Amino acid sequence: MKKGLIIAAALAMAPTLATAASFQEAFESNRAMHGNDHVFEWKGGKYHTNHEEEMEARVKATKANAADLLAKAKAKNAEVAKLGFEWKLTGGILKDAQKAIDEGDYQKALNLAAQAKYHARIGIQQYHYAQKNWHLSVPE
Amino acid sequence: MKIIKTLALGLTVAAATQMTHAADTGFDMQTVDPEADRIALQKYFKSRFPESDIADYVNGIYAVDAGSREQWEELEEFPPYEFDVEQGEELFNTAFANGKGYADCFENGGIGIRQNFPYWSKEEGTVKTLEQEINECRVNNGEEPLKWGKGAIAQISAYMAWTSRDKVFDIKIPADDERAKAAYLDGKKFFYAKRGQLNLSCANCHVQGSNIAIRADLPSPQLGHVTHFPVFRSKWGSLGTLHRRYSGCHKDSRSKPLKPQAEEFRNLEYFQSYMSNGLVANGPGSRK
């Protein structure tokens, strides 16, 4: 009898626990499962799984738009470099984006600039996470 | 009943001690305690690998993995760094154009001093490494600095390490200069902070991940990391300095690697060398 009650309670709690995820957790799990351009529900609202940089790259593929996004990506990367958390591949991606602009492939340049800006943004998040949590793995 | 009460009291005291101990190593300038860090690290590895002697950690992964050790011992029968030590001795004893030499720049003529590096320089307000001082010696005597990382600088460093074998590391953090403690803390923080696209800290591989396979590699324990440098790595096919290895590790986490002898790396070396206090210098070493 007791066992049955516990199972029933657990089943009743399960949806509550499932919706208790933060927006970030819901976003990350949907992104991991479905990739970009997927729509998911969270607390009654509908959201997509695209990174903000992917949305920034969805503009008309012109030289001016590509150069603009590349400039933003470079600025973001300079920000993360100043914090000492620049990622290894970002510099090369920025160079490739510039090369794509020079060759007139503006959509490619937009996509690469978006990728570089994403790297830099997550690097900055990583820096702030590290400041708060670096001590967690120190043996005591 | 009395036994239960005593036992409960005993357990409470033991738990309280643990809790107090848990806050001992410190994470900021007010609380950081290098000696507590060193003891806690030894305790951690003693618990992870109870069969391994603390003194044996100077041998890196070979202290904790029997299979790797067997191969390494075979390799050490004809040490791959032998020619580099000979070359390093020759370079060390070759006079500069002004007639002076490396022996004039270092305490005890540069012999048997590896275990004293890195050290905190109060005058310069920074951590000084052996390789840094080798190059400073050159520049102060009108010579061009050597390239960091490999080649002649690693050979000279290897010879100096060779003359220091079995000397005990005793890195000091002067209590009268808060900047020294700040440099140590900076190194500690660097070691434990996750970074790079793979979101890895040094500790992920060399504390929690030591002796756990990453593809075909077994990461070495952080305890004793610095004692055997410079090393001849089979992967490199040559001798390299500690900072060459730091750059490689940093890159492995997909971080943009810092240059050898960057302040961050010197602080990291300061922290790691303090962790090796009490262990002996046994460089140069050979590694996979």
Residue to substitute from B27, B35, B192, interface A, most A β-carbons within 10 A: B192
Is the peptide bond between B284 and the residue preceding it cis, with omega within 30 degrees of 0?
A: yes
Give just the sign of the alpha carbon dihedral B97, B99, B101, B105: negative
Q: Between chains, do A129 and B194 touch, taking CB under 8 Å as contact?
A: yes
SS3 B200: strand
3-class secondary-structure state, position B60: helix
Q: For residues A69 and A130, state if they share a domain.
A: yes
Do A61 and A31 fall into the same domain? no
**ipTM exceeding 0.90, yes/no:** no
Nearest Cα residue to B66 out of B41, B78, B49:
B49
Contacts for B193 with CB less than 8 Å, ≥ 6 apart? A130, A134, B201
- How do residues B160-176 score in pLDDT, each as one tens digit? 999 999 999 999 999 99
Q: How far is A127 from chain B (nearest CA, A)?
A: 7
Q: Minimal CA–CA distance to B107: which of B167, B174, B155, B194?
A: B167
Q: Which residue in chain B is spatially nearest to A88 when comparing CA positions?
A: B256
Residues A131 and A119 in one domain: yes
CB contact under 8 A, A88 and B27: no
- Asked whether the beta carbons of B164 and B112 are under 8 A apart, the reply is yes
Residue A110's domain comprises: 53-136
Same domain (yes/no): A43, A65: no
Contact flag B256-A140 (C-beta cutoff 8 Å): no
Strands of the sheet with B231-233, listed across from one edge: B238-240, B231-233, B285-287
Residue B238, CB half-sphere, CA atoms under 13 Å: how many? 12
On whether both A36 and A63 belong to a single domain, the answer is: no
In this predicted model, what pLDDT tens digit does every residue of A24-57 receive, in sequence order?
999 999 999 999 999 999 999 999 999 999 999 9
Using a CB-CB distance cutoff of 8 angstroms, which residues of chain A are in contact with residue B41? 139
**A45 shares its domain with A88:** no
Same domain? For A100 and A130 the reply is: yes
Question: Chain B partners of A85 at a C-beta cutoff of 8 Å?
Answer: 195, 255
When pLDDT is cut at 50, 70 and 90, the band that residue A21 belongs to is confident
For residue A80, pLDDT over 50 is answered with yes
Nearest to A135 among B21, B192, B208 (CB): B192
Rg (alpha carbons) of chain A, rounded to whole number: 21
Tokens 């860090």 locate to: B37
Asked if the C-beta of B23 comes within 8 angstroms of chain A's C-beta atoms, the answer is: yes
Dist CA B218 CA B66 (whole Å): 12
Confidence at B238, pLDDT banded by 50, 70, 90:
very high
| Beta carbons of B284 and B161 less than 8 angstroms apart | yes
Q: Tell me which DSSP letter residue B117 carries.
A: -
- Give B24's DSSP letter: S
Do B189 and A134 count as a contact with CB atoms less than 8 A apart?
yes
What is the enclosing helix (H) or strand (E) of A71? Answer: helix A63-82
Query: Per the structure, how many domains does chain A have?
Result: 2
Looking at the structure, do residues A95 and A131 belong to the same domain, yes or no? yes
Residue ending a domain, choose from A50, A65, A82: A50
Average pLDDT over residues B26-43: 96
Which residues of B are catalytically annotated?
Answer: 249
Residues A76 and A10 in one domain: no
Strand partners, A39: A48
- CA-closest candidate to residue B116, choices B178, B168, B181, B173: B168
- What is the distance of C-alpha B255 from the center of its chain? 20
Query: Are both A86 and A35 inside the same structural domain?
Result: no
Task: Say if residue A86 is in the same domain as residue A31.
Answer: no
Q: What are phi and psi of A107, to 5 degrees?
A: -65, -40
Check whether A2 has a pLDDT greater than 60.
no
Convert the pLDDT of each residue in A86-138 to its tens digit. Answer: 999 999 999 999 999 999 999 999 999 999 999 999 999 999 999 999 999 99
Contact between residue B40 and residue B25 where contact means Cβ atoms under 8 Å apart? yes
Rounded to whole angstroms, the Cα distance separating B263 from B266 reads: 5
Are residues A85 and A46 both part of a single domain? no
Cα dihedral B89, B92, B94, B100 sign: negative
Alpha-carbon span A50 to A111, nearest angstrom: 13
DSSP assignment, residue B63?
G
CB B75 within 8 A of CB B236: no
Q: What are B41's two structure tokens?
A: 């690290």
Residue ranges of domains in chain B, CATH in brackets: 24-79+172-287 (1.10.760.10), 82-162 (1.10.760.10)
Contact between A138 and B188 using a beta-carbon 8 Å cutoff = yes
Of A129, A135, A140, the CB nearest to B21: A140
pLDDT of residue B25: 83
Of B288, B265, B283, B287, the residue nearest B115 (C-alpha): B283
Q: Give yes or no for residue B2 having a pLDDT over 60.
A: no
**Interchain contact, A138 vs B194, CB within 8 Å:** no
> In A, what residues contact B, Cβ < 8 A?
81, 84-91, 119, 126, 129-130, 134-135, 137-140
Which chain B residues are within 8 Å of A81, Cβ to Cβ? 256
Q: Are B267 and B171 in contact (CB under 8 A)?
A: no
pLDDT at A3: 53
